[in-house]
Amino acid sequence: MKNININFMGKRKLAMNFSALLIVVSIASLFIQGLNLGLDFSGGSLIEVGYQQSVETEGVRNTLSKAGYDEAIVTHFGSAKAVLIKVAPREGLSNADLSSDILRALRIADSSVDMRRVEFVGPQVGEELREDGGMAMLFAIIGILIYVALRFEYRFALGSVAALLHDVIITLGVFSVLQLDFDLTVLAAILAVIGYSLNDTIVVFDRIRENFRRVRNGSSEEVINQSLNQTLSRTLMTSITTMMVLVALFFLGGALIHGFASALIVGVVVGTYSSIYVASALVLAMGVSKADLMPVEKEGADIDDMP
C-alpha cells in the first residue's frame, strides 16, 4: 500500500457531519429510552430454565404475566430449549421464594421445565457497580488526556480524547437504539475499546509528528494525509485480524459473551474510523503546524557543539 494516496482530509467535513449525526442520534436514544441495563446494574433475579422441546419466548412471557410477573424479561439462551428470565426484586419474597414461584408457574404450562441456575444481585450492589464503572471510564479518559498532552502537544490530546468520547458515545448509542443488554462484560468491552482506539490514534499521531519534522515542504493537510496513507496498511491489518477474532467470538462464543463481542465489534469499526476522521481532522482544524512539533533547542546547545 506504499503507492496509495487517498485524500482523507479532503472528506473531513462530510465525515464530521456524519459523526455529528451519529452522536446526536446516540445521545437522543440514551436520553429517551436509555440503556437496557442487565442484572449486574439493575438488580434482581436471573433464572435459567430448560425445556425438553423448543419453546417460544412469547408463550413463556404470557405464562409469567398470568402469574403476576408482567415485567419479566424473557430471552432464549444458547438454544430454543433454554430460556433466561430476568425479574426485578419483590418486597416480601426472598430470592429462593421468587425462583420457586416462577418455576411453579412455568410447570403449570409445561411439567418438563427444570431449573438450571439462579443468580441474584441486589439493587444497591447494581447501583454501586454502575457508579464505579462510570468512574473507571472517566479516570481512563483523564489519564489519556494527560499522557497524550505530555507525549505530543495539547491539541493532539484534545483530538485523541474527542475521538475516544466519539467512540464511547456511539457504542453506547448502538446498545441503546437496539436495546441490547448492557452488563459488566459490555462495560469491560467499552474500556477495551478505549484502549484499542487510543493505540490506533497514537500510531497515527507518531507518524504525523515524524512527517512534520521530516517533510520540508507541504501544508499541514498534505502532511497529515501522507501520514494517514503511510499507516493505512497497519491500521487495516490490525482491524481485520481483530474483527476475525471478534466475529468468531460473536457466533461461537455463546450467549454469555455475546454482548462483549458485540460492543467490541462496534468499537473496532468506530475506533478505526475515528482515528482518521475525528482525531486527525480535529488536530488539523485546531491549526497544528510544523513549528508546534519541532524539538525544543536547549539554550547554549550551539556552544556545546563547538570544538
> How is domain 9-37+125-293 classified at the CATH fold level?
Multidrug efflux transporter AcrB transmembrane fold (1.20.1640)
Distance from the Cα of residue 72 to its chain's centroid: 27
Which triple of cell numbers denotes residue 36? 437496557
Q: Specify the CATH number for 44-121; select among 3.30.70.3400, 1.10.1060.10, 1.10.8.60, 3.50.50.60.
A: 3.30.70.3400
CA atoms of 163 and 194, how far apart (whole Å) = 9
Distance CA 4, CA 25 (A): 34
Written as one letter, the residue type at 164 is L
Q: Is the dihedral of CA 99, 104, 105, 110 positive or negative?
A: positive
Contact yes or no for 268/174 (Cβ under 8 A) = no
Give me the pLDDT at residue 301, please.
Answer: 47
pLDDT of residue 185: 85
Each domain of the chain, given as residue ranges in start order, spans: 9-37+125-293, 44-121
pLDDT mean for each 10 residues of the chain (307 residues): 75 91 95 83 81 87 85 80 83 77 86 85 64 76 75 78 89 92 85 84 85 78 88 89 92 81 93 88 79 57 50
Task: Give dist(CA 153, CA 145) in Å, integer.
Answer: 10
CA 218 to chain CA centroid, Å, is 36
**Strand arrangement, sheet containing 79-87:** 73-77, 79-87, 44-50, 114-121
CA 40, 178, 23, 223 dihedral sign is: positive
Position 17 scores a pLDDT of: 93
Let me know: does 130 contact 41? Beta carbons within 8 Å: yes
Taking alpha carbons only, the member of 17, 264, 23 closest to residue 165 is 23
Task: Please give the backbone phi and psi of residue 30, each rounded to the nearest 5 degrees, phi first.
Answer: -65, -35
Give the whole-angstrom CA distance, residue 195 versus residue 135: 16
Angle between helices 123-151 and 184-214 (to 10 degrees): 10
If you ran DSSP here, which 8-state letter would residue 293 be given?
H
Distance spanning both ends of the chain, measured CA to CA: 46
Interatomic CA distance for residues 258 and 263, integer angstroms: 9
